[in-house]
Amino acid sequence: MSVRALVAVGLVLGLGLAAPAPGDEIELGSIRIETPEGDLRGREFHRGIMAGLLVMRDKSPYLAQLLRAAQDAPFPIVLHPLMEDRAMSLHNDPYRPYARVGGSRVLGRDGTIGYPAAVYLTLANVNPYWSESKRGMLAHELVHAVDLVYGRSHPERLVRERRASFMENVWRDVHGWRLTEQYFDGKLPAFETLEYQRAKSRGAIARCVQMLLSTSAFDCP
């Protein structure tokens, strides 16, 4: 059996949630995937992103809402792989995913004032063969990107990270992964991220997701 066949078998046996079936297609809309030309890892990144977007579309109504917001965004959301190029890394850390403004502030046709967004993720963050992908960094950073393109980024970083951690936990729950209970990155003091857990226990997830995707606030349980 070829290496490719073995990999496919491993995916089906171990990661059924993340495995896109042959022929699966998804409309990217305003989402762009840019990879280094001639680097085969770029193809791996592209496949991983597509697999993750399919999970968002098919496995959770809440992740599907986030995906639709990204697809329908008034400005581009460009996804990049983090590899050896230190110029792309945040604070010289090549393994730390992040999102940032990708261009000048723009007025959209619908009156939205926002920014193009750029998202940087490692191959491990999106490779469905690896457990790292279950951590939910794709969903986490897409929240930041969606906030940027719709002009909804909260001025306080702590609030921005709470919002993103909520959708990260939606992803983790879908994958049966341990939910994150604390955020710490060395820049902010550590804080609890239990909003998703409380919202789930109170039947308030839908309300919280609606708030996340329509305002800059985060008044969740």
Residue 44 to residue 120: CA distance in whole angstroms: 15
d(CA 167, CA 140): 6
Residue 181 lies in a domain: yes
Count of domains observed in the chain: 1
Helix (H) or strand (E) holding 192: strand 191-192
Domain range for residue 105? 24-212
pLDDT digits (tens, 9 = 90+) for 59-104: 999 999 999 999 999 999 999 999 766 666 666 667 789 999 999 9
Domain assignment of residue 14, yes or no = no
Tens-binned pLDDT, residue by residue, of the chain (221 aa): 333 333 333 333 333 444 455 447 899 999 999 998 888 899 999 999 999 999 999 999 999 999 999 999 999 999 999 976 666 666 666 778 999 999 999 888 888 899 999 999 999 999 999 999 999 999 999 999 999 999 999 999 999 999 999 999 999 999 999 999 999 887 788 999 999 999 999 999 999 999 999 999 999 97
Q: Is residue 6 part of a domain?
A: no
Tally the residues of the chain: 221
Report the pLDDT value the prediction gives residue 12, as an integer from 0 to 100: 35
Residue 112: which residues within 8 A CB-CB, separation 6 or more? Answer: 74, 149, 150, 151
**Is residue 168 included in any domain, yes or no?**
yes
Angle at 102 between CA 99 and CA 108, to 5 degrees: 115
Domain for residue 17, yes or no?
Answer: no
Q: Is 32 a member of any domain? A: yes
- β-bridge mates for residue 107, sequence order: 113
Residue 99: inside a domain: yes
The verdict on residue 7 lying in a domain is no
Predicted local distance difference test score (pLDDT) of residue 91: 62
